[in-house]
Structure 1
């Protein structure tokens, strides 16, 4: 089925490109030049291999017919060639001066003028070919008026054919003018208002086959998959629907590509990987901006509505719900103090003592009374001893105080909780002034707006590509 779908898509592409490439199929030839292969030599002129008569087969499918005017024109040229006897000069001149040749030349002159005036190439959208014909004839027969009509009148005149070699003139026409005129065609318009096109008849057998296969395959899927209806199975195989649509047939590349990949005839894993990464990057960027901006907007809305101020002032509309009967703030504070006493302070005790010693020495050096006693013998030694004892006692007192604070003491815990509560009340009472509250709200709103402008809205595809590169690097390390 994948190969049949591919062949059908090849026919679709051929049909879509047939009219633009019809001139190639009508006159196209493949040239094989002379070449040598080892001891075997193929000398000579380029060998022209004509293409199969594709236009004879496919023109009826597109409703293409020979255009009557240009076809009759070329038939008259053929009659003129038949009337001219090229055996010898005397016979040639006698043949050119015959009444039949004069009648044909008069006919060709009239039809040439009519062709330029009526433009029979317009229906086939080949007006450009008519311009090429006019330009080639003007170049071949130059006139004072630079008129294509006058050039055709002179070309199909007895004087021109007598002055020049008739076979050369006819050869010019057959090489330069005839292919352009032969490419013209007539295409009738049907009752729908569009050009007649019978490709639907060619495509119908494929449509019937794909429809039967689609119904059978989706029915089998619905029978073998639990909870999957026939309609769900059709949606599962959504891409096959493009094979059943008579419009936009070029979209059949989607089911053809998927089927070739499923049949393991074409490896699409690399393309799928890149497509997924591009899709993820695009969606991730949009979602990140939307989510973060929405959160910031909610915060700004809460600030403008006074919810943060109510929280700081301990005037919540809804009562605070305690889920575990534990004061988390007090517990966290106690954990931090315990960690500071047991682990942090012992590690930095020497640095603290050096800092205190430096400050005490600095204070004594700035004292005028000490500066007067500094000259007395023995005072320097006493000062050093006093400084060391003072620093040690301060450090030990601080450590003992914190150690006592973290000991199991219900009364101390109550005092700590009361301290935290009074701290919040003190902040709340200071914020109650309207001036302070307005300033805090303004600054918070301005800060959040700057965050949106400077960080959120500057997320780009390059940032997400870096993230995807990091993700791929992590996967490679895991595989190693």
Structure 2
């Protein structure tokens, strides 16, 4: 980023200055009172740009106060000139209360603040009475005119001084000459966009001028004379490109949030759509047709000339007989021994043998030996049956007959209908319990794992 050409840094700095002026211009009218209190010289400089002139009524009011202050310094409180000024200020105060010259600038708030401060100062409930009392020789004489004039200059004058009047242009809108300040910046960025587009089209003849401009579409906000606040977009991008602003954490978080939202919604939509299609297929009878009418199935393409389903089934059978059965033979023996012993207990001869001396443990030894022989024989016969062609043929016939009888029973309307309803309900439960759970919580975990994988790589 720091190796960017100097020209790009200069352009980014100019764009940043322009954005600062735009934001100041947007904030000037709402924050003019603040600027007036903090930097009054800036207000005096910028007011003409916004077509702002002092409001004649409030300026006349302040001028009358200035005249009264000069008279008080030169003459007595009881002089005719001072009394005339007091009377004029009372009339102007009544007019200010009735007409509210602050309405176009700060409707209600400024005038209400002025009235509240005057009422609190003189202890009157009525604003008109408060101004009548305040602008009187008796009140100034009682509390001292210097203190009251100082109060006015500190508490009331700044509020009245913030009032202004905005000129109306020839087209009926408020006067605003900010475009004169903005015009050099717009001209600069028009020239920059034109030059960049020209050189880019020269390097890539297949690229049209419109395509070259749209590659940096966000720079167009720099030349629009309206919605100027959108210039924050190209300025932010330019500052990032020259290395003055680090947007990688923000970019990473935006991508992360977008990925979670998009992937979650996509997973939920796809999962629900697949399950809905399966439910519709079951309700239409497609599953039963596929099971019970093989002629309606699509031809199944074998990629390696091998039926994987049959191979898996055969492998499972071999593992069960050759590896699993020998290991569970003790359990099979215990089960047979328990079954035989329970059977013998129910025979009358078993109880008689128990009473013969020397033969009491014969039934137990007999059942244990028999269980041992039967379990060994079962395992051995199962292994030999796998290699016996006759057994294989009988097993195949058993499976075929079982399937045919099962199909016949399943095709009965009440059985088929019940199974279809159960399948639809089961898929509905899967939709709510697994698909939405995956969309809500599983995506974030997957993205975290992907992020860890990228860091390891």
The TM-score normalised by the length of structure 2 is 0.85
Which residue does the alignment assign to 2:157? Answer: 178
1:128, CA displacement in angstroms?
A: 0.4
Look up the SS of the partner of 1:196 in the other structure. coil
Which residue does the alignment assign to 1:141? Answer: 122
Cα deviations across residues 417-447 of structure 1 (Å, max 9, x unaligned)? Answer: 6655544433321121111122122222222
Among residues 4, 12, 22, which one is paired with 1:12 in the alignment? Answer: 22
Among residues 232, 254, 259, which one is paired with 1:280 in the alignment? Answer: 259
1:294, CA displacement in angstroms?
A: 0.6
Kept after mapping to 2: 8 A contact 1:126/1:184: no
Determine the C-alpha separation between the residues in 1 that align with 2:452 and 2:250: 19
1:221, CA displacement in angstroms?
A: 4.8
| 2:370 counterpart of 1:370 | no
| 2:319 counterpart of 1:339 | yes
Change (3 A) 1:349 1:226: farther
Kept after mapping to 2: 8 A contact 1:218/1:237: no
Determine the C-alpha separation between the residues in 1 that align with 2:344 and 2:220: 93
Which residue does the alignment assign to 1:79? Answer: 67
Which residue does the alignment assign to 1:21? Answer: 31
Among residues 85, 88, 94, which one is paired with 1:107 in the alignment? Answer: 88
| 2:56 counterpart of 1:68 | yes
For residues 345-360 of structure 1, what are the structure 2 equivalents within 5 Å?
345-360=325-340
| 2:220 counterpart of 1:241 | yes
How many correspondences in the alignment? 446
Determine the C-alpha separation between the residues in 2 that align with 1:100 and 1:366: 138
Q: Mark the runs of 5 or more structure 2 residues left unpaired by the alignment.
A: 1-10
Bigger Cα displacement from structure 2, 385-394 vs 292-301: 385-394
Which residue does the alignment assign to 2:47? Answer: 59
Look up the SS of the partner of 2:415 in the other structure. helix
Which residue does the alignment assign to 1:37? Answer: none
Change (3 A) 1:230 1:395: farther
Change (3 A) 1:112 1:328: same
Cα deviations across residues 113-169 of structure 1 (Å, max 9, x unaligned)? Answer: 1111011101112420000111111122234xx221222223223333344422222
Kept after mapping to 1: 8 A contact 2:52/2:165: yes
Cα deviations across residues 180-233 of structure 1 (Å, max 9, x unaligned)? Answer: 000011113445554322223322322232333334445555655697654444
Determine the C-alpha separation between the residues in 2 that align with 1:196 and 1:407: 103
Which residue does the alignment assign to 2:6? Answer: none
Determine the C-alpha separation between the residues in 1 that align with 2:403 and 2:227: 69
1:458, CA displacement in angstroms?
A: 4.9
For the aligned residue pairs, the C-alpha RMSD in angstroms reads: 3.1
For residues 112-127 of structure 1, what are the structure 2 equivalents within 5 Å?
112-127=93-108
Determine the C-alpha separation between the residues in 2 that align with 1:460 and 1:314: 37
Change (3 A) 1:460 1:336: closer
Determine the C-alpha separation between the residues in 1 that align with 2:41 and 2:445: 56
Look up the SS of the partner of 2:296 in the other structure. coil
| 2:238 counterpart of 1:259 | yes
For residues 328-477 of structure 1, what are the structure 2 equivalents within 5 Å?
328-377=308-357, 379=359, 383=363, 386-387=366-367, 389-404=369-384, 406-407=386-387, 420-458=399-437, 464-473=443-452
Change (3 A) 1:110 1:335: same
Determine the C-alpha separation between the residues in 2 that align with 1:230 and 1:366: 102
Change (3 A) 1:251 1:342: farther
Determine the C-alpha separation between the residues in 2 that align with 1:224 and 1:382: 104
Q: Mark the runs of 5 or more structure 1 residues left unpaired by the alignment.
A: 29-50, 87-91
Determine the C-alpha separation between the residues in 1 that align with 2:336 and 2:451: 53
| 2:31 counterpart of 1:3 | no
Cα deviations across residues 218-265 of structure 1 (Å, max 9, x unaligned)? Answer: 555565569765444444323333333444333333332222222121
1:408, CA displacement in angstroms?
A: 9.3
Kept after mapping to 2: 8 A contact 1:22/1:55: yes
Kept after mapping to 2: 8 A contact 1:337/1:402: no
Determine the C-alpha separation between the residues in 2 that align with 1:214 and 1:406: 82
Look up the SS of the partner of 1:85 in the other structure. helix
Determine the C-alpha separation between the residues in 2 that align with 1:367 and 1:314: 53
Which residue does the alignment assign to 1:153? Answer: 132
Kept after mapping to 2: 8 A contact 1:313/1:431: no
Change (3 A) 1:314 1:184: same
Change (3 A) 1:354 1:469: same
Bigger Cα displacement from structure 2, 446-455 vs 425-434: 446-455
Determine the C-alpha separation between the residues in 1 that align with 2:181 and 2:348: 114
| 2:269 counterpart of 1:290 | yes
Look up the SS of the partner of 1:65 in the other structure. strand
Which residue does the alignment assign to 1:200? Answer: 179
